[in-house]
Amino acid sequence: MTSAACEPTFIPGVFVVRRRVFGDSRGWFEETFRASDDCVPPGVVFVQDNHSHSSCGVLRGLHYQLRRPQAKLVTVTTGVIYDVALDVRRGSPTFGRWFGLRMEAGRGVQIFVPAGIAHGFCVLSETADVVYKCSDYYDPADERGVLWSDPHVAVKWPVAAPVVSEKDGRLPALGDVGDADLPEWKEP
């Protein structure tokens, strides 16, 4: 029996995961991961957990790894974010399209992002903590990305003037990324 409902999005392999949340006067409880869940495709094994703490208006992304691609299961543990998955898989039927989702702690909503998808989020609350499981280890030399404000991708970020790192502000537009720096589409 699965503890989660899996809702496919229009981007192949990207799922919204809805989990049961149990709450009472003391607070709430939710199971954030179960290896037997149908939402995590067979063969995906998580090897690293990351935890990001950010202030209101911070935008992180859009990042991906090329030679060591990471599937991710993203959970918000405090606060509210707007999460984005951008398909950068060369040959994908949804190449260059993005999916966005508002996520709030304690609501039982997660997103599964398969390997080969660029990922990012912005913080809508005073602060937010985001924890994500990864299917491969982070390698800074392998990190790639797409400019958060690429006008051809046109993500509708709900923050007018986000706080972006210098590194993320220098990322190329998707149209300027060469084929050698894009992951290849593989049927999920």
Active site residues: 63, 132
Coil, helix or strand at residue 169:
helix
3-state secondary structure 47-107: CEEEEEEEECCEEEEEEEECCCCCCEEEEEEECEEEEEEEECCECCCCCCCEEEEEEECCC
Closest by CA to 81, choosing from 135, 162, 183, 174, is 162
Question: Which two tokens mark 66?
Answer: 């090329």
Residues 11 and 97 sit within 8 Å (Cβ to Cβ): yes
